[in-house]
Amino acid sequence: MLIACAVIHASLFSAQPILPLYIAQLQGSMDNIMMLSGTIFSVCAISIMIASPILGAAGQRFGFLKVLSCSLFFAGLLISAQVLGRTPFEFGVWRFIAGFAIAGLIPLVNSIISTECPPDKKGEVFGFNFLTGHAGMALGPFAAGALSGWFGYQAVIVASGLILFPLIVYLNYGRKK
């Protein structure tokens, strides 16, 4: 789950540094780019607020790992699909839609940690969870900066979605139960 936390944070934060530049490219100018970027970055939070309680309840009912795997699949797909937006508005709509899948990622990881961790180790494990999340937040944007230099902004967005797919395989087949 600590690996999952790092990969998820890397995915979610990798596009953050290039977002204003990518939106300016879509818009064709730098006019009001900071306001527009802030708005587009934030629309995802609205759908996350709507979907988080729903996905948390679904995890409780159907199993946290099952719902996490579904959320990872759809988040990977929808994050990558953001490149289909040809205008800032379309890009914002894709970000909003992606938020519905992203909403379950961190809460479901935390729920799995909470249920699998011995009670006397929870503080330590959640400390490491916080550490690995921030490691992902550092490595994702760093790698994205290099990737954008080599392949462009769209490659960063697609890659930030695609890195979630191997995580599904690892969580379901590669880790020790």
Global confidence as pTM? 0.92
Two structure tokens written together for 7: 């990969």
Contact by Cβ (8 Å): 66, 144: no
Element (DSSP H or E) covering residue 69: helix 64-80
Chain-centroid distance of CA 30 in Å reads: 26
| % the chain with pLDDT above 70 | 98
Check residue 174 and give its pLDDT.
Answer: 81
Check residue 58 and give its pLDDT.
Answer: 96
Query: Which numeric CATH code is attached to 2-174?
Result: 1.20.1250.20
Judge whether residue 65 has pLDDT over 80.
yes
Judge whether residue 73 has pLDDT over 90.
yes
| % the chain with pLDDT above 90 | 93
Residue pointed to by tokens 């797909």? 77
Res. 92 pLDDT band, cuts 50 70 90: very high
Q: What is the mean pLDDT of residues 108-137?
A: 93
Check residue 176 and give its pLDDT.
Answer: 62
Check residue 132 and give its pLDDT.
Answer: 95
153-171 pLDDT, tens digit per residue, is 999 999 999 999 999 999 9
Q: What is the Cα–Cα distance from 160 to 122, expressed in whole angstroms?
A: 30
Judge whether residue 175 has pLDDT over 90.
no
Contact by Cβ (8 Å): 23, 40: yes
**Domains of the chain by residue range:** 2-174
Res. 70 pLDDT band, cuts 50 70 90: very high
